[in-house]
Amino acid sequence: MRPLLALALLSLTAATHAPVTPTSIVASAPSSAWRAISPDDLLVIDLKNGRRVIIQLAPRFAPVHVANIRALARASWWDGATVYRVQDNYVVQWGHNEGTAPLPANVVAKPPGEYWRRAAGLKIHPLGYRDSYAPKVGFADGWPVALDRAGKTAALTHCYGFVGVGRDLYPDTGTGGELYAVIGNAPRPLDRNIAVVGRVIEGIDAFSALPRGTGDLGFYTDHAEEVPIARVRLASSLATVDQPSFQYLDTNSASFARYVHARANRKDEFFECPAGGVDICNVPVPIRRTPAR
């Protein structure tokens, strides 16, 4: 009987002293720590293969580009477009690569840079650990940001799943018609060099598991390889019953602070040697489907 007893005691111990992990902290965050995401900020991409990718837009960081993207979605501009580039450990890119689709009249053809914004007006929760690229990093309004030394400007960081605007050589900034999502190690050198407009919050594997393109920069060399897009819509344009609904964890909440600490100091049954630090892209802001009431 002894082994059984020992096992029972062990289980009891595990239940009462379950290790605190990032997951357990997020799971126990109070409902007051969660913030709703507006359906105007949700871009829903339906691929013809039946897969769906949902992107949260970041209008406070790239307002002109996001307004363009909303206008393009409302004009059904991407219907029939394709995913035409998949570069391993870098990006997936989609749109009308041939550039033949005329832009709707309400799309700004040459938007301003929007590679960063003034930090004034943002309530920033500092990450509290060293960053390899920026003097300071933190979170604002549920988004990871890199600050300049004086803390006067904030740029969204190129983390896994983040979405940016394809562009030609500087000073072109792109319209928003060609977008890419990061599917590899965070390409942070792109920060402050391109407009970041959002992040994939569901269905990233519909992009990341696609066959890699064999052309330069991962472009598909044969149009037959491209992945057709059925339609792209704002959630707010869908019938109410069809609207996906999401929340993000308030990055100024106590739960989020505990989550950051746990990500930087992994110490549970598996981890024996906590790093005592973490890069901002390894602290993804928790996002969830809005729970049923």
Does residue 181 interact with its own copies by CB under 8 A? no
What whole-number distance in Å separates Cα of residue 82 and Cα of residue 42?
A: 20
Given 48, 130, 152, 289, the residue binding its own copies (CB under 8 A): 130
Please give the C-alpha separations between residue 158 and each of 145, 190, 251, in angstroms, as whole numbers. Answer: 9, 7, 18
Does residue 58 interact with its own copies by CB under 8 A? no
Q: Are 93 and 84 in contact (CB under 8 A)?
A: yes
Name the residue nearer to its own copies (CB basis): 78 or 160. Answer: 160
Binding footprint of its own copies, residue count (CB under 8 A)? 46
Name the residue nearer to its own copies (CB basis): 241 or 273. Answer: 273
Interacting stretch for its own copies, rule CB under 8 A, among 26-34, 60-68, 71-79, 262-270? Answer: 262-270
Does residue 125 interact with its own copies by CB under 8 A? no
Interacting stretch for its own copies, rule CB under 8 A, among 4-12, 99-107, 220-228, 261-269? Answer: 261-269
Classify residue 207 by its DSSP letter: H
- What tokens appear for 125 in the block? 């929760």
Given 131, 141, 178, 202, the residue binding its own copies (CB under 8 A): 131
Does residue 189 interact with its own copies by CB under 8 A? yes
Which x/- pattern over 192-211 shows residues binding its own copies (rule: CB under 8 A)?
A: xx----------xx--xxxx
Classify residue 219 by its DSSP letter: B
Given 15, 109, 224, 273, the residue binding its own copies (CB under 8 A): 273
Strand pairing report for 124-126 and 227-234: unpaired
Residues numbered 91-120 forming contacts with its own copies, rule: CB under 8 A? 115
Does residue 187 interact with its own copies by CB under 8 A? yes
Does residue 132 interact with its own copies by CB under 8 A? yes
Q: Is 263 helix (H, G, I), strand (E, B) or coil?
A: helix
Does residue 222 interact with its own copies by CB under 8 A? no
Cis ω on the peptide bond leading into residue 144 (within 30° of 0)?
Answer: no
Q: What are the helix (H) ranges across the chain?
A: 2-16, 22-27, 63-74, 205-208, 254-264
Q: Are 158 and 131 in contact (CB under 8 A)?
A: no
Does residue 11 interact with its own copies by CB under 8 A? no
Please give the C-alpha separations between residue 248 and each of 31, 49, 137, 189, 256, in angstroms, as whole numbers. Answer: 11, 28, 19, 26, 10
Amino acid present at 258 = R
Binding stretches for its own copies (CB under 8 A)? 86, 88-89, 115, 129-134, 159-161, 169-170, 184-189, 191-193, 204-205, 208-212, 263, 266, 269-275, 277-282
